[in-house]
Structure 1
Amino acid sequence: MPTAQLDALVDEARATHSSALVVMQGGEVLVDEVLDGRGDRPIETMSVTKAVLSLVVGRAVTLGHLPGADVPVCEFFPEWRQGRKRDVMLRHLMTHTSGLQNVPMAPAEIYPSPDFVQLALCAELEHAPGSVFAYNNKAVNLICGLLERATGQKADDFARAELFGPLGIEEWEWVRDPAGNPHGLAGLRLHARDLARLGQVALDGGNGLITREWLEESTRPATPAEPSIGLLWWMLPAWTRYSIGEGQIESLRRVGGTAEQVAALEDCRCQGVERDRVLHLIRQVDLRPQEFPRDAQWLGSEQGPNVGFRHDGYRGQNLAVHREARLVAVRLIAWDHPQVEAPQSAFPTFPDRILTLAPA
């Protein structure tokens, strides 16, 4: 482990107002720190919940409750046996390729719903299953409903009995909707060290709780529609370089970007740069990609070979696993942190920093 790079990671974690940081290599804990002075406690992991949900599904597969990712959803929800929904597989829910109608911002549609599973079941299909990648929190929530049908237990109760309990993970919370369904999109609160332990289970091949075959399948590209995603895991490439050029600018124009948005993007032209440079350009012109039309391909990227897998969540919750270097790293920021909404708190470069920890 390069000591200078590890020290730099800890320093940046402090500078970005992190609440907790854990780094493990080869199963040895190198860093386990609470950085915000608010005590060691479970922290909301946001979308990193999806990575843990993948492990829960893997446990269900290992125990024979599910045959694998290619089981039709209609086997558990007969109302989907008619029409195109009969072709939706669990794999599609886990790779964001189900084709289900979706509002990208969860607070606009999902959180007001009294029943997240029924909301997903009633959604129309916008695309043929498997044909289009579109990040879909609504579809992920349906996985919790499917797990209940398959195992006879709520997804969080199943996780307690079959995954968290055997691993000695005792202090955690998983938010449920008003109908009693655990959230799939987010809502799991864990100690940073326990999230790292779950990452270590994935790295080690399941520790007897999850088959190595499931973990290999779920942590490698799992759909032709999007090569950077596995089964609710994202890939960790050895390097990523970004570009903003005429193709990206034209994409923004084509999907209805405003003249002001197009002009701002033109000021951010770059070719083959690292994330830090892109972020610097965005800040210089006050570019706000979150306000772009949802189909805008405003940023081009080129990636190196995959060396691991990861997931992130809103405001910079992060779990990264470097397979080749046997590294597991977690960064969390708590919602009661006074700087949680500060722009510099998101820590978007966390995966890049983990790559620097790998021995040369």
Structure 2
Amino acid sequence: MSTDPLHALLDEAKRTNTSALVVLKGGEVLLDEVLDGEGDRPLETMSVTKAVLSLIVGRAVMLGHLPGADVKVSEFFPEWRQGRKRDLTLRHLLTHTSGLHNHPHTGQDIYPSQDFVQLALCAELDHDPGTHFAYNNKAANLICGVLERATGQKADDFARADLFGPLGIDDWSWQRDPAGNPHGMSGLRLHARDLARLGQLALNGGEWLIEAEWIEESTHPATPVFPEIGLLWWMLPAWTRYSVTAENVRALEAAGADPRQVAALGRCLCDQVSRDEVLALIRGAGFVPQDAPAGVAWLTTTRGPQAGFRHDGHRGQNLVIDRRRGVVAVRLIAWDHPHVEAPESAFSAFPDRVLGLFEKEGA
């Protein structure tokens, strides 16, 4: 096997200010690099925490604390036994289809709260459960509340005893809110190699810690509402192409977006381009996706068949698993990296680079 693709990935990781990079193939370590000069240490995984949370829930199912994804949340929180929330299930929380109202800017809504679980419990429903997909950090935080009611332990304590401990993962931390709840949405700090170890566990079907059925369900489409997500895992297509069409621009305008943003998107018209190309267009035009009204299709995405599964996080954290070739790859950047806010530090092409690692070998 030629190591040139690995060298190219390592070079690009350095150019994008990566702090830690790990690549496994068939369980063998091909790369395990600490790159930012600050030493080997646990790094904030941001929303990749959610992928680990899915594994923790799977472990609770394996041990009999939870019957599965379709258990009603009201089984653990009786205040939800009436009204529209009575039929809301753990699956809804895991697939971002709960319908719970969620402010798009976490810093303005969740972080000021003293109790993330209670905040989620008190949230109104924007939609009936199971009818709409909307990425929801409140729902992820509530999963930690369900785990505590089901196992009798905080989610991080349960993970320490029953998932991380058995795997030999002992140098890590998990941020808690003022009420003592670990964040379900983020906050887990791991060494990159330990995050890769958890990815390998998922690739191996859960081994002896998690039922293979849970891994299978988690890493394939788990809701008809939005087939790109499993149980907190994103699907990894073999290829992805992006287009910005006149119809996308009209949709943005019809949704009442800032006219300057509508004009900026109009300067991004493209057809079937790569991730790097569409991001370059967006940055050059001054279009800000986060400012687009929720649910507006300002971008058209075309995807190939599923190759694996993945999760990413703010500032370019990535766990990518190519099931076809038995590859697990992790890329993390430290929050205290001096260039963490630089556009290139997002390394948005990382999943595509992982998918292309072994193409020439025909693996």
| Pairwise TM-score range, normalised by the shorter structure | over 0.9
Distance 1:293 1:12 in 2: 33
Verify: 1:302 aligned to 2:302, yes or no: yes
Which residue of structure 1 lines up, in the alignment, with residue 81 of structure 2?
81
Q: How much does 1:294 deviate?
A: 2.2
User: Counterpart of 1:164 in structure 2: which amino acid?
Assistant: F
Which residue of structure 2 lines up, in the alignment, with residue 117 of structure 1?
117
Distance 1:300 1:221 in 2: 20
Which residue of structure 1 lines up, in the alignment, with residue 240 of structure 2?
240
Provide the secondary structure at the position in 2 that maps to 1:125: coil
Which residue of structure 1 lines up, in the alignment, with residue 71 of structure 2?
71
Distance 1:178 1:258 in 2: 37
Distance 2:35 2:206 in 1: 30
Q: How much does 1:40 deviate?
A: 0.2
Distance 1:275 1:46 in 2: 21
* 1:43–1:192 Cα contact (<8 Å) kept: yes
Distance 1:131 1:22 in 2: 38
Q: Is the deviation greater in 158-167 or in 258-267?
A: 258-267
Provide the secondary structure at the position in 1 that maps to 2:111: coil
* 2:98–2:139 Cα contact (<8 Å) kept: yes
Distance 2:281 2:274 in 1: 11
Q: How much does 1:342 deviate?
A: 1.1
Provide the secondary structure at the position in 2 that maps to 1:166: coil
Q: Is the deviation greater in 277-286 or in 165-174?
A: 277-286
Count of equivalent residues: 360
Q: How much does 1:347 deviate?
A: 0.7
Query: Aligned ranges for residues 344-359 of structure 1 at < 5 Å?
Result: 344-359=344-359
Provide the secondary structure at the position in 2 that maps to 1:307: strand
Distance 1:251 1:12 in 2: 36
Distance 1:315 1:79 in 2: 37
Query: Aligned ranges for residues 24-103 of structure 1 at < 5 Å?
Result: 24-103=24-103
Which residue of structure 2 lines up, in the alignment, with residue 177 of structure 1?
177
Q: Is the deviation greater in 345-354 or in 271-280?
A: 271-280
Which residue of structure 2 lines up, in the alignment, with residue 331 of structure 1?
331
Deviation sequence 1:310-345 (CA, Å, 0-9, x none): 000000000000001000000000011111111111
User: Counterpart of 1:234 in structure 2: which amino acid?
Assistant: W
User: Counterpart of 1:173 in structure 2: which amino acid?
Assistant: S
Q: How much does 1:199 deviate?
A: 0.1
Distance 2:281 2:336 in 1: 30
Distance 2:132 2:27 in 1: 38
User: Counterpart of 2:240 in structure 1: which amino acid?
Assistant: T
Gaps of 5+ in 1: none
Q: How much does 1:289 deviate?
A: 1.6
Q: How much does 1:296 deviate?
A: 2.3
* 2:5–2:358 Cα contact (<8 Å) kept: no
Distance 1:299 1:38 in 2: 38
Q: How much does 1:283 deviate?
A: 2.4
Q: How much does 1:266 deviate?
A: 1.2
Q: How much does 1:114 deviate?
A: 0.3
Which residue of structure 2 lines up, in the alignment, with residue 6 of structure 1?
6
Distance 1:143 1:260 in 2: 39
Which residue of structure 2 lines up, in the alignment, with residue 212 of structure 1?
212
Q: How much does 1:200 deviate?
A: 0.2
Q: How much does 1:2 deviate?
A: 4.8
Distance 2:151 2:259 in 1: 52
Q: How much does 1:262 deviate?
A: 1.4
* 2:138–2:185 Cα contact (<8 Å) kept: yes
Which residue of structure 1 lines up, in the alignment, with residue 256 of structure 2?
256
* 2:276–2:348 Cα contact (<8 Å) kept: no
Query: Aligned ranges for residues 98-177 of structure 1 at < 5 Å?
Result: 98-177=98-177
Distance 1:73 1:260 in 2: 43
- RMSD of aligned Cα (Å): 0.9
* 1:218–1:232 Cα contact (<8 Å) kept: yes
TM-score, normalized by length of structure 1? 0.98
Q: How much does 1:358 deviate?
A: 3.2
Verify: 1:199 aligned to 2:199, yes or no: yes
Distance 2:227 2:153 in 1: 33
User: Counterpart of 1:294 in structure 2: which amino acid?
Assistant: A
User: Counterpart of 1:316 in structure 2: which amino acid?
Assistant: G
Distance 1:251 1:7 in 2: 42
Which residue of structure 2 lines up, in the alignment, with residue 315 of structure 1?
315
Distance 1:265 1:36 in 2: 35
Which residue of structure 2 lines up, in the alignment, with residue 230 of structure 1?
230
Shift in CA distance, 2/86, structure 1 to aligned 2, threshold 3 Å? farther
Query: Aligned ranges for residues 279-290 of structure 1 at < 5 Å?
Result: 279-290=279-290
Verify: 1:23 aligned to 2:19, yes or no: no
* 1:2–1:357 Cα contact (<8 Å) kept: no
Q: How much does 1:102 deviate?
A: 0.8
Deviation sequence 1:171-199 (CA, Å, 0-9, x none): 00011111010100000000000000000
Provide the secondary structure at the position in 2 that maps to 1:196: helix
